[in-house]
Amino acid sequence: MTNEPQSTQFSLEQGVHLVTGSVNAALYDTNTGDIFSVDRTNRILLEMLLMNWQLREEQRREEQNREGQSREEQPENGQSEASKQFLDASNGTLQKLLQNLEENKLGRFFSAEEMPQHKLPEKPEINIDFIWFELTQGCNLKCQHCYDSSSPDLIKGDIIKGDICSGGSGRGKEGLDGIVSGEAVSSQVVSSKTNEKSKQQLGVLSHETWLDLLDQTAELGVKSIQFIGGEPLLYDRIFDLIRHAKEKEIKFIELFTNGTLITPQIADELSRLSVNVALSLYADTPEIHDKVTQKPGSFEKTTTAIKLLQERKVSVRLAVIAMSTNEGSIDATLEYIKKEFGIEHTRYDIVRPVGRGGNDELVPKALYEKSITRAANFRKVNADAFARNLYGNSCLNGKLCITPTGDVHPCIMEKEYKIGNVKEKSLKEIAQSEELGYIFGLSKDYIEGCSECEYRYACHDCRPKAKSQDNFLAKPKECRYEPTKGVWQS
């Protein structure tokens, strides 16, 4: 190491942040997104360096230690005797640390003129980015793992006998009546055919209210929404809502459906409206897929729907949920999706312990074992992600879910935590509420077992999956790191 002028001081590079845990630390390079683990010894050395002690002073003390010179006089910088002894004992470690920091462009010695102005990133403005519109809890399937515990039993109302693609759009006009695939289908709880008195008795939102909520969504500047259920195509005026959302210039609109009710006419309308469509596919064979949905013939209907949509150039996304029922065919399913539909990079997600998915027997044991975090292997964290995770929850931040009864929750998977109800407050009032502010600000600093971890701003946080039965702030079960010991458990 070459001698540095007395005026130089050590600093981390601009955009590099030191995050300390109970024992160890981590360096977040938001310029590259990389995260570097720092053990206890190097953490202490690094913290000492960041207290702006000059290299010449450090080197002088190390040389004195090697030469056995007396070091009785008090250090100019107020360095304690214990700190001096630590530096003396760490001779060589310090030089190696400095070399590694410089080679990785994480930190070095700067002159006073070029010293970076270090500060934490500013707190991002809290905005609603995405809203789930859960139109119904009713569904024509009864999937084993459904987060909403949806089923045909929850389909209520009158029998609909019309053309789902007929009718107009907008307030005061008759919307989309529903007969799908040639079958008369009971409307779900918020059908336009259900009279107002019945709606009030059921406590569900009127069509007019859903339209107004889309107005409020646009006024809040929300860019993305998803219509979901249950099965959203059981909502007989679904296209009325989609048209209204398009008129309000909401940029991204997605319909999440099981696909079994999609006809060529419905596919035509989805194509005309340029709607994104997400569908669930659970296997590459009807035997396994239909076992998950508990509906014979559902595999054929869903795969036919995918082809109908693709033929019409509709943007299709497929969701694959892994559970014990289909665990052995997940790889084959992903390959089937790639070959049959030409959809690349589809990934599976392990069933969430929500709704019927809370059945422990559904946990895919081998895949769950693979999901356990046993090493510091994280996604890249750029400046925006670091600021977002520093001040808020990595998943819940910016999201809302509105249920058929108007309840507002932070996530489609988190129905136990209620923020408010749109019958009582506007979306703007809910967005500005303390309840939502608490959820959005729920960074890992507030999660038990994570607040003491140096990786807390790199680790994703799914509260519905992590929380225990009686503890909303529980540490994720898949994490095997013990920050108070600084070790990974096998």
Domain regions of the chain by residue span = 9-110, 130-372
Per-residue pLDDT, 437: 93
Per-residue pLDDT, 198: 58
Model pTM above 0.75: yes
Give the separation between CA 307 and CA 335, rounded to whole angstroms.
17
Q: Are 155 and 233 in contact (CB under 8 A)?
A: no
How many CB atoms neighbour CB 427 within 10 A?
A: 22
Tell me the sheet residues that pair with 159. Answer: 186
Phi-psi region of 227 (alpha: psi -120 to 50; beta: other; left: phi over 0): beta
Give the separation between CA 470 and CA 466, rounded to whole angstroms.
11
β-pair type (407-409, 399-402):
antiparallel
Phi–psi pair at 418, nearest 5 degrees: -100, 130
Tell me the sheet residues that pair with 138. Answer: 151
Give the separation between CA 436 and CA 414, rounded to whole angstroms.
13
Per-residue pLDDT, 119: 83
Helix, strand, or coil here: 261?
A: coil
Q: Are 427 and 377 in contact (CB under 8 A)?
A: no
Per-residue pLDDT, 156: 61
Residue 406, preceding bond cis, omega within 30 degrees? no
Q: In the block, which residue shows the tokens 């209520």?
A: 156
* 257: its two tokens: 């459906």
Give the separation between CA 162 and CA 359, rounded to whole angstroms.
39
Chain centroid offset of residue 251 CA: 20
Phi–psi pair at 387, nearest 5 degrees: -65, -40
β-pair type (130-134, 399-402):
parallel
Reference 137, options 56, 48, 232; nearest CA is 232
- Each residue's pLDDT, cut to its tens digit, for the chain (490 residues) gives 445 445 578 899 999 999 999 999 999 999 999 999 999 999 999 998 888 654 444 555 566 666 665 444 444 444 445 444 444 555 578 889 999 999 999 999 998 888 888 888 888 888 999 999 999 999 999 999 999 999 999 886 432 333 344 434 444 333 344 433 333 333 333 444 554 555 565 789 999 999 999 999 999 999 999 999 999 999 999 999 999 999 999 999 999 999 999 999 999 999 999 999 999 999 999 999 999 999 999 999 999 999 999 999 999 999 999 999 999 999 999 999 999 999 998 999 999 999 999 999 999 999 999 999 999 999 999 999 999 999 999 999 999 999 999 999 999 999 989 999 999 999 999 999 999 999 999 999 999 999 999 999 999 999 988 887 678 899 999 999 999 999 999 8
Helix, strand, or coil here: 347?
A: coil
How many CB atoms neighbour CB 302 within 10 A?
A: 24
Q: Are 103 and 4 in contact (CB under 8 A)?
A: no
One-letter amino acid at 4 equals: E
Chain centroid offset of residue 390 CA: 15
Query: Candidates 1.10.10.10, 3.30.365.10, 3.20.20.70, 1.10.287.3510; correct CATH number of 130-372?
Result: 3.20.20.70
Termini Cα distance of the chain: 39
Residue 230, preceding bond cis, omega within 30 degrees? yes
Q: How far is CA 61 from CA 76, 83, 118, in A?
A: 12, 11, 28
